[in-house]
Amino acid sequence: MSIILGIETSTKICSVAISNGDKLLALEEEGGEYSHSEKLTTFIQKVLDKSNLELAAIDAVAVSKGPGSYTGLRIGVSVAKGLCYALDKPLIAVDTLQAMAKNPSLQSTLYCPMIDARRMEVYTALYDSSNNIVKPISAKIIDENSFSEYLNEHQIVFFGDGSDKCKDVLEANPNAIFSDKGLPSAQFVNQLALNKFNQQEFENVAYFEPYYLKDFIATTPKKLL
pLDDT confidence of residue 222: 43
- For residue 113, cis peptide bond before it (omega within 30 degrees of 0): no
> Is residue 41 packed enough to be buried (19+ CB in 10 Å), middle (13-18) or exposed (0-12)?
middle
Q: Give Cβ neighbours of residue 81 (< 8 Å, ≥ 6 apart).
A: 91, 205, 208
What are the contacts of 44-52 at 24+ separation with CB within 8 A? 44/5, 44/7, 44/16, 44/79, 46/16, 47/5, 47/16, 47/17, 47/18, 48/18, 50/18, 50/25, 50/26, 51/18, 51/25, 51/26
Residue 225 scores a pLDDT above 50: no
Q: Looking at residues 75-96, what average pLDDT do you find?
A: 97
Domains delineated in the chain: 3-97+183-198 (3.30.420.40), 104-178 (3.30.420)
Q: Looking at residues 53-65, what average pLDDT do you find?
A: 97
Q: Looking at residues 209-213, what average pLDDT do you find?
A: 90
What distance in Å separates the CA atoms of residue 205 and residue 77, rounded to the nearest whole number? 10
The pTM (predicted TM-score) of the whole model is 0.92
Residue 55 scores a pLDDT above 70: yes
> Is residue 173 packed enough to be buried (19+ CB in 10 Å), middle (13-18) or exposed (0-12)?
middle
Answer yes or no: are the C-beta atoms of 204 and 84 closer than 8 Å: no
pLDDT confidence of residue 216: 44
In tens, the pLDDT along 125-155 reads 999 999 999 999 999 999 989 999 999 999 9
